[in-house]
Amino acid sequence: MAKEFGYCSSGCTRPQFEKQVDNINRKYPNAIIIKEVYSKTMTDRTELKKLLSQLDKEDTLIVNSMERLSREPEQLFTYYKDMAEKGVKLIFINQPYMNTEVFASAYDTMTKELPESEEKSVSDGMDQLLSAQITRILEKSWEDLQEQRAHMRESFEQAKMEGKQIGRVKGKKYESRKSFMVKELIRKYNQNYGGSMNDVQTMEQIRNEMGTISRNTYYKYKKELTEEES
């Protein structure tokens, strides 16, 4: 019997997977969720390797985006081809145009009336297109991540220059780096501070950029922000 698996990875030492899991469960409620920590110092994706070895024909593997499987184009291309040849459906929630079924359908359409002798040239061309697309998507994802990190660092440094208390000072209220950055994002996105998002949308955006934040923590920081600016 075909099964659906959802693979969720995080680059944090204390991973926050809620958003990835929610995205997968929303569309594939029967998916078996596999979670794994992954970072520069934790490079052996044991759970992913175990999962890939267990996948059978007609099984489905769902991930939020391509970089959750790998940030290396060559490695991701290998995964993609291996699963396609094995008959496993690979689905990217944020990049549905890269699903294995899309490329399989395009290949079938292009080779439908071609003689068998010409099918290899079409297959090679499709592989080149796939490889180029994977590389382009992973490069863009990495650029976006670096831009987000740079923005956070700039905001943090600007606050230090303005004399805002961020580090711990004995006898004074401590503001963590996380709380500072969350407040900066609230200022940027929330409609109460000139942005365009309501509270639910703001929380979702913060989760996209920083990882999980609970509803109580969000409203705690928002209340502190309001008090600071009153």
Would you state the pLDDT for residue 11? Answer: 63
Would you state the pLDDT for residue 108? Answer: 84
Q: For 165-206, write each residue's pLDDT tens digit.
A: 555 455 555 566 678 778 888 988 899 988 889 999 998 888
Biggest CA-to-CA distance, the chain: 80
Give, in order, the Cα–Cα distances in Å from 134 to each of 3, 78, 92, 131, 137: 26, 11, 12, 5, 5
Is the whole-model pTM more than 0.85?
no
Rounded CA separation 134/51 (Å):
21
Domains identified in the chain and CATH numbers: 4-139 (3.40.50.1390), 165-229 (no CATH)
Q: For 143-152, write each residue's pLDDT tens digit.
A: 877 777 777 7
Is the model's pLDDT at 121 over the cut of 90?
A: no
pLDDT band at 54 (very low <50, low <70, confident <90, very high): very high
Q: What is the dihedral of CA 180, 185, 191, 195, to 10 degrees?
A: 130
Would you state the pLDDT for residue 98? Answer: 92
Would you state the pLDDT for residue 41? Answer: 47
Percent of the chain with pLDDT over 90: 31
Q: For 200-227, write each residue's pLDDT tens digit.
A: 999 888 887 776 788 899 999 999 888 8
C-beta neighbour count of 64 within 10 angstroms? 22
Would you state the pLDDT for residue 122? Answer: 83
37 CB contacts (<8 Å, ≥6 apart)?
9, 10, 11, 12, 13, 15
